[in-house]
Amino acid sequence: MIIGLTGGIGSGKSTVARAFGTRGIGWVDADDIAREVVKPGEPALHAISERYGPSILQPNGELDRAALRTIVFAEPTERAWLEAQTHPRIRQRLIERLDELLHQGSPYVLLVSPLLFESGQHTLVERALVVDVPQELQLARTQARDGVSHEQASAIIAAQLPRDARNQRADDIIDNSGDENALDARVAALDERYRQLAAHRTLS
């Protein structure tokens, strides 16, 4: 069984994934795969550099992610072009990595993806778990973590599915605006439920 773990930027998806990980649950992070498909030598990076020129690359040949982010969040058509280049490649690698994890014996696995619904990756999962926090907390965490301006953080949030719409599509919601103990208790309860569901699927 595959559980989709999603939430807006700065909601704490990685923190929640690690909490499941301490209980022996494997996960694949779509953000990690997204960085992987634009590494030097990858076809997606070649396409990006052809479109935007050498200034989009750092001296070592790596993608200048900050420069690309500035372009795509200012121009919706450019974001759409970039997604057309990267999303199919990300999806294929996600399928491969999830399959590897399932064959390693984890009772269920997590697909951690900020764009679970927007990218169509929700079709790869049986259930969707949304990590939810107020937008003010999203902004504060994103600015502190990524060193971006309030305007850039707001643009990233605006490019994602609205909070209410995301929550409406969730099978489960976990509030990550509290302390670690509250989060751990909620993860423990969900882990028990998911193990039961996975066992039932296996038996049936």
**Residue 58 belongs to some domain of the structure:** no
| Span between the terminal Cα atoms of the chain, in Å | 13
Q: Is the pLDDT of residue 139 over 70?
A: yes
Average the pLDDT over 157-181 and give the result: 90
pLDDT of residue 144: 80
Q: Is the pLDDT of residue 204 over 60?
A: no
**Residue 66 belongs to some domain of the structure:** no
What's the total number of domains in the chain? 1
**Residue 53 belongs to some domain of the structure:** no
**Residue 83 belongs to some domain of the structure:** no
Q: Is the pLDDT of residue 13 over 60?
A: yes
Q: Is the pLDDT of residue 11 over 90?
A: no
> Which positions ≥6 away from 35 have C-beta within 8 Å?
none
pLDDT of residue 157: 80
> Which positions ≥6 away from 110 have C-beta within 8 Å?
2, 3, 4, 5, 17, 20, 25, 26, 27, 28, 129
**Residue 10 belongs to some domain of the structure:** yes
pLDDT of residue 18: 95
Residue type, 112: V
The CATH number of whichever domain residue 146 belongs to comes to 3.40.50.300
pTM to 2 decimals?
0.84
Q: Is the pLDDT of residue 202 over 70?
A: no
Q: Is the pLDDT of residue 203 over 70?
A: no
pLDDT of residue 152: 80
Q: How confident is the model at residue 86 (pLDDT cuts 50, 70, 90)?
A: very high
- Percent of the chain at pLDDT above 70? 99
**Residue 189 belongs to some domain of the structure:** yes
Side by side, which strands form the sheet with 109-112? Answer: 26-29, 109-112, 2-6, 127-132, 172-175
Q: Is 177 assigned to a binding site?
A: no
**Residue 193 belongs to some domain of the structure:** yes
Distance CA(16)–CA(50), nearest Å, equals 38
- Percent of the chain at pLDDT above 90? 65
Q: Is 15 assigned to a binding site?
A: yes
Residue type, 36: E
- Decide: 43 and 100 in contact? Cβ < 8 Å: no
Q: Is 147 assigned to a binding site?
A: no
Q: What is the pLDDT of residues 167-177, one digit of tens each?
A: 999 999 999 88
**Residue 84 belongs to some domain of the structure:** no
Give the residue among 14, 5, 7, 10 at the shortest CA–CA distance from 138.
10
Q: Is 10 assigned to a binding site?
A: yes
Lowest mean pLDDT among 8-12, 17-21, 82-86, 119-123: 8-12
Mean pLDDT score across all residues of the chain: 91
In which domain, by residue range, is 175 found?
Answer: 2-33+89-203
